[in-house]
Amino acid sequence: MIFRGGRAGGRAIPWRPSSVYRGVSGFRSPVDRLPDEALLSGLATGDPELAVVFVRRFQRRVFGVAMAVTGDEQLAEDVAQSTFERAWRHAQIYDSRRGSVTTWLTTIAHNLAVDAVRARRTEPMAPEDLDAVIGVVTETPEQWALADETAAQLRAAVARLPREQARALVMAGIYGMTAQQIADAERIPLGTAKTRIRAAMAKLRTTLASPKRGDHVR
Amino acid sequence: MSGDMNCGRLREIGAELALGVLPGRERAEAVAHLDRCANCREYVRQLTLVGDRLIGLLPEREPPPGFETRAARLPARQAPAHEAPAGAADRAFRHLRGRARRARLRLAAVATALTVAVGFAGWGIGTAVEEVLASSAPAAESELMLVGDMTSTVGGETVGEVYAHPGTPGWIFVSVGLTGPHASYTGKVTCLLEHADGRIVRVGDFTLNGGRGEWGVAAPGDLSTLSGARLTMPDGTVLATAHLQKGQVVEPEK
Ligand SMILES: [Zn+2]
C-alpha cells in the first residue's frame, strides 16, 4: 500500500479563512497576494471572492492551452470553464506534492481539450496548424527567456529537433494523438511514429536533466 | 504479443505512456511494470515532467469578455445538480459539463489507480491515461468501475468519493473531507465494504487529519458485487456512507 492517510494535512500553508487575508473588496485585495496553493485550499470554503481571484490568476493560462489544442474559441471557452469547475470540485484533494497549481490546472485543461477535440475531430491535423504550433512553442521572446530559463531551454531543444520529430512530439504531446494516429496522419509505419516520439522525448529529457544546456543531446 | 514487460520494453514506450497516448493494454502492462521497478518509475516521471513542461510552453490567451464571471461561479457545494441557469450557450455547457463529470470520474479513478499502483507523483501521468482511455475502443477497453459519493451520516452532504476497481488485484480508493461535527476529526477510521448479498467486509483502517484523508489499498476478493462502503470511527460511529454504482470507463460521445 502506498497511499497514506491525511496527505492534505501535509501542506503547511499559513492561511486561515476569513481572518487575516480577507481584505475589503477593493481593487486589489490582500487575497490577490495569497500563494496559489493557499488560494486553492481556500476555495474549499466556498468563498466567491477567492474564486474570482483564482480565475483571474489562471484564466489566460487555461484558455491558452484550450485554444492551442482546440483551435476553436467557443470550444476552448467550454473547456476552460470545465477546467475551473473541476478545480472547484477538487480543491480539497489537491496535493501540492504532485505538482504546482499551474501545472495541475494546465494538465486538466489540456486533458479536457484533447477529449473535446477527439469527440468532434474527424479530419487529420492540418499541416499548417501543426507548423504554427511548433512555431509558437519554439519562439523565445527575450522576456520569456529571462523569466524562465528552463522553458527557454526546452523551447530551444524543441527547435533543434528534426522537423519530423518535432511534429510527432506536438501531435502526441499537445494534440494527444496516439502513435497509430500519427502514423496515419504522416503516412509512415507505426514503428517510425513511435521512434520519433521516443527520440524527441529523450532529447528533451536530457535537456531538462542536464544542469547546463546540453547542446549535444544525441 | 506477450504480456512481458521488461525494462528495455518499458524504455521503448515510456514516452508514449508519459504523454498519455499509449493504448490501454500496453498501458496496463507498463503500469504493472512500473509498480515493481523504481528505475523505470523515475524514468517515466522525468518524461512526464517533460510532457507537462511542453504544455507549459503554449502561449497564454485572453479569454472572451465575461469569462471571468462565468468561470468564477462556484458550484453550490455538494449539490449534485448544480447546472447553471439557462442561457443561450447553456445547452452546450450542460452537454460539456455532463461529459466533464464523467471524465472526472474517469480521471480521478484512473489517476488514483496509477498513484496507488505506482506511487509516484505527477499529474501528467494520471490525466494522460485518461486520454488513452478516452481514445480506446469502447467495447474492448471498457473497465468496470464502481463509484459512489460518500455522504455524511449527520448532515447528508457529500463529503468524499469512493472508487472500487474489481480486478486482480482489485483496489479501493477513498477520498474524504468531512464537514459538520466531525470536520476537525483527527484519528483512525475504518473502511467497511458492503456486498450486494449483505456481507460486510472490513477492508482496513486509515487516518484522517482534520477530517480529511485519502486512502487507497489493494483489496482481495471479488469486488464486483460491492454495493456500498462506509467509514466508521473506532467507537463504531458511522461517519459517512456511500452507495456504489457500476460505471464503465466511458467513451466521449460522438
Ligand atoms: Zn524497469
Is the domain of B82 the same as that of B137?
A: no
Closest by Cα among A26, A5, A140 to B57: A140
Cα torsion B20, B24, B25, B29: sign: positive
Decide if pLDDT at B188 tops 70: yes
Q: Which residue has the higher pLDDT, B212 or A200?
A: A200
Q: Which residue has the higher pLDDT, A217 or B55?
A: B55
Is the domain of B126 the same as that of B21?
A: no
Residue of B nearest to A45 (CA): B77
Highest mean pLDDT among A194-203, A206-215, B105-114: A194-203
How long is chain B? 254
Joined together, the cell numbers standing for residue A12 give 503547511
Joined together, the cell numbers standing for residue B209 give 487529519
Inter-chain touch A86–B100, beta carbons under 8 Å: yes
Joined together, the cell numbers standing for residue A42 give 481556500
In angstroms, the CA A14 to CA A97 distance is 17
Question: What percentage of residues in chain A have a pLDDT greater than 90?
Answer: 43
- The residues pairing with A19 across neighbouring beta strands, listed in sequence order, are none
Rg, Å, chain B Cα set: 20
> What single-letter amino acid sits at B105?
L
pTM for this model (two decimals): 0.58
Joined together, the cell numbers standing for residue A94 give 489537491
pLDDT in tens, A23-54: 333 344 567 777 888 888 777 777 788 888 89
Question: What percentage of residues in chain A have a pLDDT greater than 70?
Answer: 76
**Option in A84, A112, A208 nearest B71 (CB):** A84
Least confident of A76-80, B9-13, B212-216, B250-254: B250-254
CA of B8 to the centre of ligand 1 (A): 7
In a domain, B175, yes or no: yes
CB interface of A with B, residues 37-76, below 8 Å: 43-44, 46, 48, 51-52, 54-56, 59-65, 67-68, 73-74, 76
Is the domain of B150 the same as that of B228?
A: yes
Check whether the bond before B252 is cis (ω within 30° of 0). no
Is the domain of B126 the same as that of B179?
A: yes
Is the domain of B180 the same as that of B247?
A: yes
On average, the pLDDT of chain B sits at 70
Q: Which residue has the higher pLDDT, A21 or B24?
A: B24
pLDDT band at A143 (very low <50, low <70, confident <90, very high): low
Decide if pLDDT at A2 tops 80: no
Mean pLDDT to the nearest integer, B204-211:
81
> What single-letter amino acid sits at A149?
E
Question: H/E element holding B229?
Answer: strand B226-232
Q: How far A214 CA sits from the closest chain B CA (Å)? A: 15
Is the domain of B162 the same as that of B243?
A: yes
In a domain, B61, yes or no: no
A189 in helix, strand or coil?
coil
Specify the number of domains making up chain B.
3
Is the domain of B75 the same as that of B115?
A: no
Question: How many C-beta neighbours within 10 Å does residue B167 have?
Answer: 16
Closest by Cα among A167, A161, A175, A68 to B20: A175
pLDDT at residue A122 in the model:
57
What single DSSP character describes residue A7? G
In a domain, B142, yes or no: yes
In angstroms, the CA B46 to CA A209 distance is 8
Domain that holds residue B13: 7-56
Chain B contact for A141 (CB, 8 A cutoff): no
Mean pLDDT to the nearest integer, A197-216:
79
Question: What percentage of residues in chain B have a pLDDT greater than 70?
Answer: 61
**In chain A, what residues touch B213 (CB-CB under 8 Å)?**
5-9
Is the domain of B147 the same as that of B192?
A: yes
Least confident of A122-131, B142-151, B237-246: B142-151
| Structural domain spans, chain A | 1-121, 124-218
Topology alike, domains A1-121 and A124-218: no
**In chain B, what residues touch A1 (CB-CB under 8 Å)?**
116, 216-218
Is the domain of B215 the same as that of B110?
A: yes
In angstroms, the CA A132 to CA B170 distance is 45
| Fold topology of A1-121 | Rna Polymerase Sigma Factor; Chain: A (1.10.1740)
In angstroms, the CA B211 to CA B189 distance is 10
pLDDT at residue A23 in the model:
34
Is the domain of B145 the same as that of B214?
A: yes
**In chain B, what residues touch A67 (CB-CB under 8 Å)?**
61
Q: To the nearest 5 percent, what fractions of chain B are helix, strand and coil? A: 40, 25, 35
In a domain, B2, yes or no: no
pLDDT at residue A166 in the model:
97
What does the H/E/C string look like for A11-22? Answer: CCCCCCCCCCCC
pLDDT at residue A66 in the model:
96
In angstroms, the CA A55 to CA B202 distance is 42
CA of A173 to the centre of ligand 1 (A): 23
> What single-letter amino acid sits at B93?
F
CA of B7 to the centre of ligand 1 (A): 4
Is the domain of B122 the same as that of B232?
A: yes
> What single-letter amino acid sits at B122?
G
Closest by Cα among B218, B16, B26 to B124: B16
CA of B208 to the centre of ligand 1 (A): 34
- CATH number of this structure's domain A124-218, picked from the four choices 3.40.47.10, 3.40.718.10, 3.40.50.300, 1.10.10.10: 1.10.10.10
In a domain, B203, yes or no: yes
pLDDT at residue A123 in the model:
63
Rg, Å, chain A Cα set: 20
Is the domain of B80 the same as that of B137?
A: no
Highest mean pLDDT among A96-100, A107-111, B108-112: A107-111
